[in-house]
Amino acid sequence: NGKHRLTDDVERIVQEHLQYVREDVSNGWDLIHQDGEMKVYRREVEENGIVVDPLKCFHTIKGVTGHEICRYFWEFQYRMEWETTLDSTKIIEALDPDTVIFFQLHKRVWPAAQRDSCFWSHIRCISNSDEDQPTWLVVNYTTPHPLAPIKSPQVRLVANVALICETIISEPPLNPKDIKRENIQCKLTYVAFVNPGGWVPSAALRGVAKREYPRFLKRFTSYVVEQTRNKPILF
Ligand SMILES: CCCCCc1ccc(-c2ccc(S(=O)(=O)CCO)cc2)cc1[C@H]1C[C@H]1c1ccccn1
């Protein structure tokens, strides 16, 4: 894909996430939610009195590939189908076929001011030769943009989010064309570093995050299972 003004930033952040995804959650992380295969962890971090807790979620979804999960997460046209915390979302620039810039208005969480966000969003396939299936990932990373002016009273979020997915094929048949959805599953890791961009009561923000992240991950993954049920498998 063509080089553009953010190529180096995208490369750097993608590599950082590929290192970070391997870090285990045994020390310093609290398990804040578990639902079947989904485990949500959080570290309590404050910057200048603002809660910026990193979030890490592990989930295994039967019947879908990592490519399908990343595709539905990255593609603009599906977003309002699964995102319940947005008032609006739009693409304001396409940098290359795999990298766009979104501007989003997040639903107001009373009594805090409404948040908006502007980030580059990049989808990529990383073929790791040894394993059979490649890793697919999406990174959403805050960036300024002339078409996303910061306008009071909205407060600009600072977000660095990654969705990293592996595809597992159990009992692979001799001919890959015979692979069925019951033989595939996606192991996903979702990490989110979100700074709300302005002071929010710590307990309130921790409460919203604890409720909203599991809800959004459950709703999003269920949406992809529904959408792909009778479609050919996208590896
Ligand atoms: C006073 C509350 C301020 C709002 C805080 C806030 C805003 C955005 C986000 C967020 C930003 C990006 C993403 S994404 O994965 O890139 C998808 C694209 O939309 C996802 C979640 C998170 C939170 C934190 C609360 C937490 C929360 C979690 C899931 C939904 C709503 N609120």
Q: What is the spatial distance between Cα 185 and Cα 183, in angstroms, rounded to a whole number?
A: 7
Q: What is the spatial distance between Cα 30 and Cα 26, in angstroms, rounded to a whole number?
A: 9
What is the model's pLDDT at position 129? 73
| Under-70 pLDDT residues of the chain | 1, 131
With a 6 Å cutoff on the Cβ, whether 13 touches ligand 1 is no
- In the chain, the DSSP E strands lie at 30-35, 38-42, 46-47, 50-51, 55-62, 86-96, 99-106, 115-126, 135-142, 155-156, 158-169, 184-195
Instruction: Express as a percent the part of the chain with pLDDT over 70.
Output: 99
Distance 67 CA to ligand 1 centre (A): 23
Instruction: Express as a percent the part of the chain with pLDDT over 90.
Output: 92
Please report, as a single letter, which amino acid is at residue 196: P
Ligand 1, atom 2, residue with closest C-alpha: 109
Q: What is the spatial distance between Cα 171 and Cα 183, in angstroms, rounded to a whole number?
A: 7
With a 6 Å cutoff on the Cβ, whether 84 touches ligand 1 is no
- pLDDT, tens only, 18-42: 999 989 999 999 999 999 999 999 9
With a 6 Å cutoff on the Cβ, whether 196 touches ligand 1 is yes
> 3-state DSSP call for residue 127?
coil
User: Which of 69, 89, 154, 208 for mutating ligand 1's site (highest number of atoms within 8 Å of CB)?
Assistant: 208
For 223, list phi and psi in degrees, rounded to 5: -60, -45
